Amino acid sequence: MTTIDWDAAAGTFDEEPDHGLLDPVVRSAWARRMETWLPARRSEVLDLGCGTGSLALLVAGQGHRVTAVDRSTRMVERARAKLAGTGTEVLVGDAARPPVGTQRFDVVLARHTVWLLPDPEAALRHWFSLLRPGGRLVLIEGVWDGAGLPAARLTALLAEHTERVHHEPLSADSRLWGKEVDDERYALVARAEPPHRHSEVVDVHLILRRGSEVLLARRAGTGYADGLLHAPSGHAEDGEDVPAAMIRETAEEIGVELRPDELRVALVMQHRGPGGNPRMGWFFEADHDPARPPRNAEPDKCSELGWFPLDALPDDMVAYCRAGLDGYRAGQRFLIHWHEDADTIAYAPQGARRAVPLPVAASPTGRLHHIDLWVPDLAEAEAEWGWLLGELGHVPYQRWAHGRSWRRGDSHVAVEHTPDLPGRAHEGLRPGVSRLAFHVQDRATLDVLVAHAPGHGWRPLPPELPGHTGAGDVAYLENTAGSVVELVAP
C-alpha cells in the first residue's frame, strides 16, 4: 500500500512507493483522468510540488511540454532521473512562487499542494497570473483523517478569479488510489477567465440510428446521473469544432471511428441542469454501420450499451437527453430545456415538461405537411414501411389504434388501416397517388436498399416505369399491398 511521509527538513511529502503510480492499474487510471483535464492539443504545463515527477511523466507522455517544480532537492533529483529524455525541465523552488520568471503556461497543475501552503489565497492569485488567457488550473486535493482542504473551501477561494470551476469527485474510483477510500478526494479544473463574463460549455451528443432504434449508454462511476441512460456524449475541447468533438467522443466512448461526412446536425439545444450553469448542446445523427459495431470503450464510465426504439424510449434517462430525442423525433431543430433547481436530473414521466421548441425563420406555408396512405393490413404496413422509411432517415412519430407515422423534418408519412378498401392491392394506374419518390444519398446506398428490400416485404420492379424523369439512378420497389416507391440517387 502507498504511504506518504512528511519530510521535515525539506518541508514536503516523501512519496513511497512513487505515490502508487508504479502500479499499472493506478497509473492507467491517472492517465485517463489527465487526458480529460488537460487540453487535447500540445500545451505548456507547470507541475507544482511535483515530488518524484510521477504526474509530470504521465503529462509528458501525452505530448505536453512540462516544467516541474519542487522545493525538495532530493525530490528534484529523483524527478530529473525519472523524466530524463522527455524534455521536461525540473526546478528547485517554492510552489507558491515558482522560479519561472515571466513564462506563461496553458496549465498549472498541483496535486496535494494547496492545503500545505501558508497563504493559499496569495498562491492561487499568483498561479492565475502565470496562465495564458483561457488557460486552466488543475488542483487535486482532499481531506485525509481530518487534514486537508475540502472542495467547498477551495472552490470559494477560486471564486475571486473565475466562475468556471469544474468539480470532479475522485473518492469512488479506487483505481486512482490502489484501494477503496471513504474520505473526500477531488479535482477542480478552473479556467483563467474573469468572473461575471457569461460563457457556456459546448457539449455534443450522438443519435446513432439503427433503423427505428437509437443507441443509449448507461452512465456509471462518473458522479453525474449514474445509473441513467444517455446518448454517447461529451464536450468540445478548446480550439475544437463541434463535428471534431463528436467524432472524438464517439471513438472514445463506443469505439466507432466516424467520418465527417457521416454526421448530420439533428438538433441544437440550450439546456440547464438543476442548480447548474447553462450549456449549449449539439445533437448529431449518424447511421449504424454493421461493419463497425459499437462497443463499451469506457467501462469505467458506462455499465452497458443498448438499442432502444425511438417511439418507445425508456423512462430511466437523463431528462434533457430524453427531451432532445423527443424533440428530434418530432422534427424540432432548436430547443431550450431549462431545469428548475428542484427538478431531478432523471426524466420524470409525470413531471413538468421543460423543453420549449424555438420557431425557425422560414415560413411553413406551401411545404408538404404529410401524406396519408390507406392500407389493408396495419401490421404488414408497419413492418414494410417502417423498415424502408427508417432506412431513408425517417423516425417513428405517431402511433394510434389504426395507424402509424414516420417523420423527417417537418413532414411525415402515415399509414392507416381502413376496412372499407375495395380490394387488397393498390392499383397504381387508377386516379390517385401513383407512387412516392424519395432521394437516396448515392448509388451505393441505392444498391444496398434494393438488395435488402425483399427481406422486408418489398420486391424490385422493372428499371423504368411511366413518369420517370431520367434524372439520376432510379430503382422501384413494390410492397405486399401494391404500393410503389421510387428511389432516386444523384
Q: Which domains does the chain have, with CATH numbers?
A: 3-191 (3.40.50.150), 201-357 (3.90.79.10), 370-489 (3.10.180.10)
Q: Tell me which residue has cell 430545456.
A: 337
- Residues 208-225, mean pLDDT to the nearest whole number: 92
Residue 120's SS3 state is: helix
How confident is the model over 427-443, as pLDDT tens digits?
Answer: 554 555 668 888 888 88
Least confident of 165-169, 227-231, 396-400, 438-442: 438-442
Backbone dihedral angles phi then psi of residue 433, each to the nearest 5 degrees: -75, 125
Mean confidence (pLDDT) of the chain: 87
* pLDDT confidence tier of residue 359, bands split at 50, 70 and 90: confident
Residues 147-201 have pLDDT tens digits of 899 999 999 999 888 878 999 999 999 999 989 999 999 999 998 876 555 678 9
Closest CA to 435 of 426, 443, 446: 426
pLDDT at position 246 is 97
Instruction: Extract the C-alpha cell encoding 45.
Output: 504545463
**Paired residues of 45 in beta bridges:** 66, 107
Pairing state between β 105-111 and 89-92: unpaired
pLDDT computed for residue 14 by the predictor: 43
State the helix-helix crossing angle for 120-129 and 151-158, rounded to 10 degrees. Answer: 50
Cα dist from 325 to 22, 149, 248, 284, 320, whole Å: 44, 41, 21, 11, 9
**What does the pLDDT read at residue 365?**
73
- Highest mean pLDDT (candidates 147-151, 303-307, 365-369): 303-307
Q: What is the pTM of this model?
A: 0.50
Please give the biggest Cα pair distance in the chain.
99
